[in-house]
């Protein structure tokens, strides 16, 4: 779906995840919710795909199912061209190293009883890459430096850190095993606006330095422009528009994308005073079940309305 000739690092085809809908012994089945409904996209090596949409649109589920932290209801997941769908625990083990996730709440992901140094070094132990205690400490210190934390902080506990610092700790752990791909699930949403840009810059620096590929999830489009090469817009389990960042920002086609864009605050106070967010009534504008993505420009696709 990226339309380029580069072989994708990660690709999903017709990915589906349905919750509920189980048959019951008595009465009607529980109502089924199509959290992810026929989602397809490619991500090229070194690329950042932004995945945006309102809360509940299925972004996190897409990320979890792509990593097979949950089994998909249908569809296929490819990594470096190999279909890795349903491989099982042993089969997925090598891919677990290569594909990492960072969550929204930096404090909830941390272990309050572990020093942050132990926390960052834990994956090295689990995968038996630690070597001696000294080697592990050196490796963790290097990871701290890489994410902009003073290595002397290693012996401290999570509650001693600010939100931005905690997210840096989570990022250090995520890159400990030299992954190629990271799902970042709203990693800046819980942070002060003043800190968000710093963490976005860190993601960018790490991508430049380590050649990382990202699926970067956000509920709105602010910051996305600075980080993403392409953007996919999700609405009620479906991708309604996907395309290069410039096309999405300069030439949005779907009414929902336009509404998301109109909601971004503008730094210029004169412009901001006159900004009128567009309303979009989701329930009145649900995409028809059989709607298809149609090309509207170079690598730019929009769901029929």
Binding-site ranges for ligand ADP (CB under 6 A): 19, 33, 35, 53, 55-61
Q: Which partner in Mg ion, ligand ADP, none is near 61 (CB below 5 to 8 A by kind)?
A: ligand ADP
By beta-carbon proximity to ligand ADP, the closer residue of 119 and 280 is 280
Cβ(245)–Cβ(50) below 8 Å? yes
* Helix pair 193-210, 163-174: axis angle to 10 deg: 20
By beta-carbon proximity to Mg ion, the closer residue of 58 and 75 is 58
By beta-carbon proximity to ligand ADP, the closer residue of 57 and 100 is 57
Q: How far apart are CA 116 and CA 169, in angstroms?
A: 7
Q: Which partner in Mg ion, ligand ADP, none is near 56 (CB below 5 to 8 A by kind)?
A: ligand ADP
Is there binding between residue 60 and Mg ion (CB under 5 A)? yes
Q: Which partner in Mg ion, ligand ADP, none is near 35 (CB below 5 to 8 A by kind)?
A: ligand ADP
Q: How far apart are CA 62 and CA 157, in angstroms?
A: 32
Say how many residues touch Mg ion, by CB under 5 A: 1
Quote the least distance from Cβ 219 to Mg ion, whole Å.
Answer: 8
The HSE-up count of residue 21 (CA atoms within 13 Å, CB side) is 8
By beta-carbon proximity to Mg ion, the closer residue of 55 and 132 is 55
Quote the least distance from Cβ 55 to ligand ADP, whole Å.
Answer: 4
Alpha helices per DSSP H over the chain: 59-66, 88-98, 106-109, 116-126, 133-146, 163-174, 193-210, 224-227, 245-250, 255-262, 269-274
Q: How far apart are CA 280 and CA 239, in angstroms?
A: 16
Q: Which partner in ligand ADP, Mg ion, none is near 33 (CB below 5 to 8 A by kind)?
A: ligand ADP
By beta-carbon proximity to Mg ion, the closer residue of 60 and 213 is 60
DSSP string, 179-203: -SEEEEESTTTTS-HHHHHHHHHHH
User: Would you tell me which residues interact with Mg ion (CB under 5 A)?
Assistant: 60
């Amino acid at each position: 779906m990226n339309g380029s000739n580069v072989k994708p690092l990660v690709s999903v085809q017709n990915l589906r995840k349905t919750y509920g809908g189980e048959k019951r012994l008595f009465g009607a089945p529980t109502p089924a919710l199509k959290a992810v409904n026929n989602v397809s996209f490619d991500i090229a090596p070194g690329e950042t795909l932004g995945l945006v949409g309102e809360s509940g649109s299925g972004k996190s589920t897409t990320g979890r199912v792509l990593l097979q932290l949950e089994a998909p209801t249908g569809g296929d997941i490819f990594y470096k061209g190999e279909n890795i769908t349903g491989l099982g625990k042993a089969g997925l083990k090598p891919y677990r190293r290569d594909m990492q996730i960072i969550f929204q709440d930096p404090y909830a992901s941390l272990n309050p009883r572990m020093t942050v140094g132990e926390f960052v070094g834990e994956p090295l132990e689990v995968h038996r890459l630690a070597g001696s205690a000294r080697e592990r400490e050196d490796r963790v210190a290097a990871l701290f430096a890489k994410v902009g934390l003073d290595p002397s902080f290693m012996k401290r506990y999570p509650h001693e850190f600010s939100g931005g610092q905690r997210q840096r700790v989570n990022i250090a752990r995520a890159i400990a095993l030299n992954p190629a791909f990271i799902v970042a699930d709203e990693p800046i949403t819980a942070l002060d606006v003043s800190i968000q840009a710093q963490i976005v810059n860190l993601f960018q620096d790490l991508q430049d330095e380590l050649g990382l590929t990202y699926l970067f999830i956000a509920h709105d489009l602010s910051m996305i422009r600075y980080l993403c090469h392409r953007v996919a817009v999700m609405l009620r389990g479906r991708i309604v528009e996907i395309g290069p960042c410039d096309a999405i920002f300069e030439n949005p086609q779907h009414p929902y994308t336009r509404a998301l864009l109109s909601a971004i605050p503008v730094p210029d106070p004169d412009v901001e005073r006159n900004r009128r967010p567009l309303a979009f009534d989701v329930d009145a504008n649900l995409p028809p079940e059989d709607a298809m993505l149609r090309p509207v420009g170079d690598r730019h696709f929009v769901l029929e309305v």
